[in-house]
């Protein structure tokens, strides 16, 4: 899988309703849902995602992510895309965040009615 994890992840995320990709401010590709960042990809082998502290701790404890490569004490996690299993973990974590973001946006829209 060396070098192709980011391609596989990108193809999956771009198939989700409402997801768009943009240049990330620190390089790489940022995936957004309605203008809000879901996560970002550095090259083809490193994916970063912001989560709540409890989610961060769970993903790390389950071995599906690691502390962020630059800011290990933050709520960011990093997933190194070295294997198909790593990509599956990145997709699982991102799907979880994506669904939470959709819920928040739907709740906001309902509150505006």
pTM: 0.90
Write out pLDDT tens, residues 86-95.
999 999 999 9
- Cα atoms in the Cβ-side hemisphere of radius 13 Å centred on 29: 17
33 to each of 8, 54, 73, 84, how far by Cα in Å? 19, 22, 26, 25
Position 27 scores a pLDDT of 84
- 42: tokens are 């550095």
Position 113 scores a pLDDT of 59
Contact 93, 9 (CB under 8 A): no
Low-confidence ranges of the chain (pLDDT < 50): none
């Amino acid at each position: 899988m060396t070098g192709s994890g980011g391609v596989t992840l990108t193809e999956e995320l771009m198939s989700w309703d409402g997801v768009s990709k943009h240049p990330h401010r620190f390089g790489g590709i940022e995936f957004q849902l309605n203008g809000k960042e879901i996560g970002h990809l550095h090259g083809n082998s490193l994916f970063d995602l912001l989560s709540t502290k409890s989610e961060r701790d769970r993903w790390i404890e389950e071995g599906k992510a690691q502390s962020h490569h630059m800011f290990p004490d933050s709520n960011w996690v990093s997933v190194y895309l070295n294997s198909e299993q790593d990509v599956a973990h990145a997709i699982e974590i991102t799907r979880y965040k994506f669904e939470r973001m959709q819920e928040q946006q739907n709740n906001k829209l309902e509150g505006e009615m």
